[in-house]
Structure 1
């Protein structure tokens, strides 16, 4: 494990990276706006679970295969891109809710299927090869060359990174849920949120499909 100053740098860098908007943040915020804070938290847990898969894969060398094998990277890249585009199209085609908002709209939430929300968040990360390559590139920088058990050190740092992401992700869920409960315009135009989120997911998918392997 790194010494204390380096460990603090690792934690701070992780927080900054998790604050950066992307598909994960969009997924958390969308679910929290539509179905409340609990839905956003479940989305965040699904996403973090996907990150644990990548940490384990990187520690065992699977991510190294993605970094060196163009075929492996391309295969996972296209699967991940197709999944993001599929999610985006589903949101674009989703039926909008009623434009009439009752006086107690702050209490109205779209019923949430927590199992589905969790699974989709999980797949959003698992099917993105860039997440695997991120852990492979980022975490080893904080493992001292003389560390006797580098696999264990990698797993511990990956665990720390993922656990540190939870306050940021839960914060996004809480802020989005708070906004949905207090801003009536959000309730009246919820179907436009689906359209905007769908367009962004399609964009993320297309961007992933056109990306090159950063390790090549």
Structure 2
């Protein structure tokens, strides 16, 4: 792996990490209620999940997902179920101003399981990281290094969404406006669940 590979990889990872998705939307909505610091701590749950995925992908999870229909389908429907659950929670959320905001530990769990429940995250790593590997060198250490860099990039990108959410939450959001934010989030989560349900195993 050369310096040129790294210089290309980092901005590409930042763009991927900053793209709209279930976890970034979750961070944004959480920050409107809980504020910047607890939500930023919650992002650590997502990064922990990415660390797990980097290890699994580097050790060959890609082979399992690409060759085992049962493994992919089971993982896919677990992800669909969790996204539907989050959509229902957002839709039914109490938006009264005196409702306690979620704490950092709850946000960490949400971030962790939202990412782990998405097979696309696994396939992203296993399709994205190998493009920057030098096959003339030992592959496993390169995958771990690239995975570590991706986690750092994901963390920075997530904080952009957290900051945006905390700025929106800094205004006097009425219960009606909070309800609209929550129900928009519910709609996006539900849409993500539908798209995930319709996804097929990689060839």
TM-score (norm. length: structure 2): 0.93
Residue 189 (structure 1) aligned to one of 177, 189, 201 = 177
Runs of 4+ in structure 1 over 3 Å off:
185-188
3-state SS in 1 of match to 2:80:
helix
Instruction: Tell me, in whole angstroms, the C-alpha distance in 2 between the residues paired with 1:81 and 1:53.
Output: 20
Deviations 1:147-205 (A, max 9, x none): 12x11211111011111221221122122112211x22466521222211112111111
TM-aligned CA distance change 1:185 to 1:114, over 3 Å: closer
Show the 5 A alignment for 1:35-184: 35-98=34-97, 110-148=100-138, 150-181=139-170, 183-184=171-172
How many correspondences in the alignment? 203
Deviations 1:48-89 (A, max 9, x none): 211111111101112220112111101100001111011111
Q: Over the residues paired in the alignment, what is the CA RMSD in angstroms? A: 1.7
Alignment match, 1:10: 9
Contact 1:47 1:122 in 2 (8 A): yes
Please list every run of 5 or more consecutive structure 1 residues that lacks an aligned counterpart in the other structure: 99-107
Which one has the largest radius of gyration?
1
Q: CA deviation at 1:44?
A: 1.9
Please list every run of 5 or more consecutive structure 2 residues that lacks an aligned counterpart in the other structure: none
